[in-house]
A and B are shown apart, each in its own frame.
Chain A
Amino acid sequence: MTEFLQQLINGLSLGAIYALIALGYTMVYGVLRFINFAHSDVFMIGAYAGYYLAPKLGAGSLVGGLAVLFAAMAVCAVLGVIIEKLAYRPLRNRSTLTVLITAIGVSLLIQNVAQNQKLGFGPNPKAFPRLFPETNLHFGPLVVSSNQLIVLGVTVVLLGALWWIVHRTRIGTAMRALSFNATAASLVGIDNDAVISFTFALGSALAGAGGILYAMNYPSIDPLMGTLPGLKAFVAAVLGGIGNLPGAALGGLLIGMVETFVSGTRASTFRDAIAFAILILILLFRPAGLLGKVRVEKV
């Protein structure tokens, strides 16, 4: 029982990070109907932003750590907007496939620049600095590290903030309108470009937060660190029903849990295989994902 509860805590803190990344995928899909494959690299840039900003912003205390977190989110938000402006906006009226392939190109470009010793961070793993004071809390036989609590806390706060922005603000209403029908939205006076930029900023900031939280828990970062978590988060977004915000969060938590519970058994080497098999099963019975709605494509 103790082991089960401990694994539950481990799974929750891993799943929370997947959820943050998955939200970015799902938001962009919601407004533009394409998968932003460069998202996982924004996640990586977030971790590196934290690495370079930490000594400057006085990491190691609660305030310093939060400052690094928000600074990295800001860096990623700006990066997301730039990527959208340079790579995706010129292709706005082309087919989704064109944009999708561009997204893969952007992803490879960021990864390769980042791996370059002179232009980027270099290919070798770097040790991520400590952002927050660390302690271990003991609840009977259970151990929860302060980092895990911070991951859960930050995720809950960010999810709440996201819900508030999407459902209670004008820009959020505009986002929902755009996702419902882009042409109609522009007809009623919504500036589509501005809303799309804002969506990218928001999604990328969440990826940046995810990058920081991930690096905090697993303090070895490298330019390809985004690939696997990015893939898992994408799966999480599809699992929850792509385009659906609570679905992405739910999907992230599920993938994190499944991975952790499989890792803790003898079948630990089949961790990813089992996680992806579950995805296939769920999609067989619910093609639109857990919370997604089946939409009939009108031709």
Chain B
Amino acid sequence: MKPTFQLPRRGFLAVLATAIALATGCKPSGESGGGAAGTGTIKIGEFASLTGTEAAFGQSSHKGTQLAIEEINQSGGLLGRKLEHLTEDNRSTAGESATIVKKFISREKVVAVLGEVASGRSLEAGPICQAAGIPMVSPSSTNPKVTEIGDHVFRVCFIDPFQGKLLADFAKRTLKARKVAILSDVSAPYSVGLADFFRQRFIAEGGEVVVEQKYASKDKDFRAQLTAIKAAAPDAIFVPGYYTEAGLIVAQARQLGLAVPLFGGDGWEAPELIQIAGEALQGTYYSTHYSPEAKSTEVRSFVKAFQARFNGETPDAMAALGYDSAMVLADAIKRAGSTDGSKVRDALAATKDFPCVTGKTTLDASRNATKAAVIITVKDGKFSYLETVEP
């Protein structure tokens, strides 16, 4: 006898349709979270890499955001309402961010979304916010593609074309390098993009990229690539990756007797870099968004508040950008006088000369921030400020 189990066809379709509606963030019963007349809290959803390979970034950025929202609530909140900060962890893996953001929008009815540090994961969440008409502000995704998603995606940091250009100039002028080797992470859009912008500028300025090697994130062994790089005898090695791999690369490069300077982008900045590579870091450099040693009033009051809140911990660039992303968003909600997605979006787009910890922030027509960068070097096992590069 044949088994006679069959799904009731029509019921099944209805379930499927509901599932799709939920998954795509459709709102069958009209707007329910927006509107100036709304009561209750204003919900802000933050998706972050709180654990996993980029956890140091996610944690820092999250602490900054947390501090900003607490400060806003202490001074009375926004539009007479308190902010509610929802955070979910994507474990530094692909695929999680989309699910989290869908949930924020369809179930929690957030007003805006904050996130992420890694460009790859912002690229995942952006289209969902864009389709749902919810503004998204990324604290520190530097890949240009992130804000190209659409007019609802913003960021408060500089972008990789600028970072790549300044690193190329830095290699040429400060390091006096003529021949550079590049070792990039093919699995991270951030790394691939930064390597491209660096190469274009460096070659245009008369430099030579003698060898390019690649790795994938979570790799541990880089000796093979570094041996090939050593054979090409470069003056410096550019490693546009994240700190976990960068730390191992620096350590293994020194073990192989490569004494030339290594340098990278803002993906390097984490205390874990020093824990992994130790004294091998002598003579390495990276560019980032801010230095806690800067003298401006914003930086000093931020560092003080952050240390008071988090047991004397000194905030790094990711913390500063996490703070700035929430402050820029709060400012936009205040100016919009509403929590309606499109009004907040318009107010965000009009952000001009807003005093951020990482410098005065103006969001341009392509929703990117233009601001200065700093170069940090590692001296005696400590990060130390080297120079500021204006855009």
Contacts and interface: CB of A to CB of B under 8 A. Distances in A.
Interface string A211-249: 000100111101001001000000000000000000000
A263 B231 CA distance: 14
Interface string B242-275: 0010011001000111000000000000001001
B386 interface: no
Contacts of B216: 269
A264 B91 contact: no
Interface residues of B, number: 31
18 contacts: A6-B230, A7-B224, A7-B227, A11-B224, A125-B272, A127-B247, A136-B255, A143-B255, A143-B257, A214-B220, A220-B220, A259-B221, A260-B221, A260-B224, A262-B224, A263-B215, A264-B227, A268-B225
A257 B230 CA distance: 19
A220 B55 CA distance: 14
Contacts of B228: 3, 264-265
Contacts, number: 87
Given A122-B51, A143-B256, 14 more contacts: A3-B230, A7-B227, A124-B51, A125-B53, A134-B255, A138-B257, A219-B248, A263-B213, A263-B221, A263-B224, A264-B228, A265-B228, A268-B215, A268-B224
Given A3-B231, A143-B255, A228 B224 contact: no
A222 B255 CA distance: 23
B51 A263 contact: no
Interface of A: 2-3, 6-7, 10-11, 14, 115, 122-125, 127, 134, 136, 138, 143, 145, 147, 214, 217-220, 222, 225, 228, 259-265, 268-269
Contact of A269 (B56, B186, B231, B244): B186
Contact of A219 (B55, B257, B276): B276
B244 A220 contact: yes
B196 to A, nearest CB: 16
A125 B54 CA distance: 9
A268 B213 contact: yes
Interface of B: 51-53, 55-56, 91, 186, 213-216, 218, 220-221, 223-225, 227-228, 230-231, 244, 247-248, 251, 255-257, 272, 275-276
A219 B251 contact: yes
A160 B89 CA distance: 47
A10 B257 contact: no
Nearest to B231: A3
Contacts of B251: 219
Given A143-B256, A268-B215, A10 B227 contact: yes
A218 B247 CA distance: 10
A147 B221 CA distance: 13
Contacts of B218: 228
Nearest to B51: A123
- The 5 closest A-B CB pairs, nearest first, are A218-B220, A263-B224, A127-B275, A123-B51, A10-B223
A42 to B, nearest CB: 18
B81 to A, nearest CB: 33
A125 B227 contact: no
A125 B251 CA distance: 16
A120 to B, nearest CB: 12
Given A218-B220, A219-B248, A263 B225 contact: yes
Given A123-B91, A127-B272, A259 B224 contact: yes
B44 to A, nearest CB: 25
